[in-house]
A and B are shown apart, each in its own frame.
Chain A
Amino acid sequence: MNLVETVILDDKAIGRAITRVAHEILEKNSGCENLVLIGIRTGGDHIAKIIHQRILAIEGTAVPQGAIDITMYRDDISSGVVRPLGKTDIPFAINDCHVILVDEVLYTGRTIRAAMDALMDLGRPRSIQLAVLIDRGHRELPIRADYVGRNVPSARDEQIEVLFDENKIPLEVCLMKPKQ
């Protein structure tokens, strides 16, 4: 399929959005006590790492940070393709913590549903809050984000992709439209 690509956020804009999200997280939780960051593989874990660095710069505290792979919790596992599994790496207990779940693009909400189920199997967090870089709409489940980098209204046949460099730093967010 031929796609027309538009850059909707460059690296500077992404950086500013993540800085704001980090501030909002700290504001809403009155600091970073019992706060943990868990990024959804792959993409969300890279964003979580940057939020982690921002919080460290703002508050001087390194909040625990982990990554979760939700493949085992998908609702479309029998649809004919074997999906490669990633590794869940959460080297701390999440009981009674405020978990900030981080993803790059929020779309149908199915990934977030799976991630919440996965988190519940790991413990009983005090709360789960959702931070996303992009919210593109089209929810299929009653899920909303608590922190949004940028709202990008999109059509279903469009694709939104976050591109990272080799150090997993986000470079740009692209919107790809099918050529008319």
Chain B
Amino acid sequence: MAMGEMFAHKHIIGTQQLSKDDIELILKTAESFKEINQREIKKVPTLRGKTIVNLFYENSTRTRTSFELAGKRMSADTINISASSSSVTKGETLEDTAKNIEAMDADVIIMRHSCSGAPDYLAQRLTTCSVINAGDGFHEHPSQALLDLMTIKEHKGKIDGLTVAIIGDIARSRVARSDLYALKTMGATVRLAGPATMIPPGLEELGAEVYTDINEAIKDVDVVMMLRIQLEREGGNKLMPTLREYAQFFALNTENMKLAKPDAIVMHPGPLNRGVEISSYVADGEQNVILEQVENGVAVRMALLYLLAGGSEEK
């Protein structure tokens, strides 16, 4: 196929760096991998002999399992390191930990960290290893955005021209940022909504429309994407008076969902806080595609691993 389909990236730090062609190639590759996940024997030998390390400095169920399955289904060796059970607790620096992993000839490090920019910091310091950002602070979570795009495309047939509302704690959401960049690149209109305390300045400059009323934000959209209220980050710096008040003004329920287009889909990156940002009626309703997002997550991550490790130069 055409040379234009080559993938020029060594690391996946954010969707901000991905072009339209890059995203289209990732989604197309993911479609091919999705077929494997529906087989009886969910395994291909594509990444045999490659080593993939999940280096997680923050808790995760979905993303870590998804990346691990993605690697295993392509026959790579996958290893999980979580900060709490590693030498990090003995005081080792991030750079030293990563360089030690690289010295053991790992091919890809998948990293989640509470500090924005940590994966990029590593990517600049490692020589052979590829780095995939699995969520860094309030910065980006690119694989989540890509699986969101894949799910939207499956339901709507396209992304260009759609209107997507992203609602919740925009300020502290890496998912919102990655989705915003990727959706804008693909030609969608993006509305961001939440309480004024959760809306950072400068979003309009990134091409988003900003709302502080959920009803206005949802009106006539094709996709409603709810964000999780991050209870674990609510401790230090409170952005809302109470959960009950938040739920009253910003939860997605059967009533305000009627304002969206009749065929609109409901998305959520998980884990769900039922009764806070989304009512159970909507979360389990006919328009929800939340578990399809999870399913597509494995395929998208297989595509990322394939594009980074499958074609990398002999070292």
- On chain B, the residues within 8 Å of A86 by CB distance are 32
- For residue A42, which residue of chain B has the nearest CB? B1
Residues of B within 8 A of A (CB-CB), count: 27
Indicate whether B28 reaches chain A with its CB closer than 8 angstroms.
yes
Residues 33-65 of B at the A interface (beta carbon under 8 Å): 33, 35-36, 39-41, 43-46
CB <8 Å contact, B311 and A83: yes
Indicate whether A82 reaches chain B with its CB closer than 8 angstroms.
yes
CB <8 Å contact, A81 and B6: yes
A79 to B310, CA, bound (A): 9
* A118 nearest CB across to chain B (Å): 8
CB <8 Å contact, A121 and B312: no
CB <8 Å contact, A80 and B311: yes
CB <8 Å contact, A82 and B310: yes
CB <8 Å contact, B6 and A80: no
* A99 nearest CB across to chain B (Å): 16
A144 to B307, CA, bound (A): 33
CB <8 Å contact, A117 and B45: yes
* B307 nearest CB across to chain A (Å): 6
A87 to B7, CA, bound (A): 18
- On chain A, the residues within 8 Å of B306 by CB distance are 72, 82, 85
* A123 nearest CB across to chain B (Å): 8
- For residue B50, which residue of chain A has the nearest CB? A78
Indicate whether A56 reaches chain B with its CB closer than 8 angstroms.
no
A81 to B6, CA, bound (A): 8
A73 to B306, CA, bound (A): 12
A86 to B1, CA, bound (A): 10
**25 interchain pairs, CB-CB under 8 A:** A71-B32, A72-B32, A72-B44, A72-B45, A72-B46, A73-B46, A80-B313, A80-B314, A82-B307, A82-B310, A82-B311, A83-B310, A83-B311, A84-B1, A84-B29, A85-B29, A85-B306, A86-B32, A88-B32, A89-B35, A118-B44, A121-B41, A121-B43, A122-B41, A123-B40
Among candidates A77, A80, A81, A88, residue contacting B46 with C-beta atoms closer than 8 Å: A77
A127 to B5, CA, bound (A): 36
- On chain A, the residues within 8 Å of B28 by CB distance are 84-85
- For residue A88, which residue of chain B has the nearest CB? B35
Residues 268-315 of B at the A interface (beta carbon under 8 Å): 306-307, 310-314
Given A82-B307, A82-B310, check contact A73 B29 (CB 8 Å): no
Indicate whether B120 reaches chain A with its CB closer than 8 angstroms.
no
Indicate whether B25 reaches chain A with its CB closer than 8 angstroms.
yes
A177 to B314, CA, bound (A): 32
Indicate whether B31 reaches chain A with its CB closer than 8 angstroms.
yes
A69 to B306, CA, bound (A): 15
Among candidates A77, A117, A118, A121, residue contacting B310 with C-beta atoms closer than 8 Å: A77
- On chain A, the residues within 8 Å of B36 by CB distance are 72
Mark interface residues in B1-43 (1 if CB within 8 Å of A CB, else 0): 1000111000000000000000001001101110110011101
- For residue A75, which residue of chain B has the nearest CB? B45
* B108 nearest CB across to chain A (Å): 13
Among candidates B25, B33, B44, residue contacting A121 with C-beta atoms closer than 8 Å: B44
CB <8 Å contact, B46 and A82: no
- For residue A87, which residue of chain B has the nearest CB? B32
CB <8 Å contact, A87 and B31: yes
- On chain A, the residues within 8 Å of B312 by CB distance are 78, 80
A85 to B302, CA, bound (A): 12
- For residue B45, which residue of chain A has the nearest CB? A73
Residues 48-86 of B at the A interface (beta carbon under 8 Å): 74
Given A87-B31, A87-B32, check contact A82 B45 (CB 8 Å): no
CB <8 Å contact, A87 and B314: no
Mark interface residues in B94-116 (1 if CB within 8 Å of A CB, else 0): 00000000000000000000000
Most buried by B among A80, A83, A118, A122: A83
Given A86-B32, A121-B39, check contact A77 B311 (CB 8 Å): yes
- For residue B48, which residue of chain A has the nearest CB? A77
Mark interface residues in A59-71 (1 if CB within 8 Å of B CB, else 0): 0000000000101
* A83 nearest CB across to chain B (Å): 7
A83 to B311, CA, bound (A): 7
- For residue B46, which residue of chain A has the nearest CB? A72
Residues 111-154 of A at the B interface (beta carbon under 8 Å): 117-118, 121-123
CB <8 Å contact, A82 and B44: no
Given A72-B46, A80-B311, check contact A85 B33 (CB 8 Å): yes
Given A84-B1, A87-B31, A88-B32, check contact A78 B41 (CB 8 Å): no
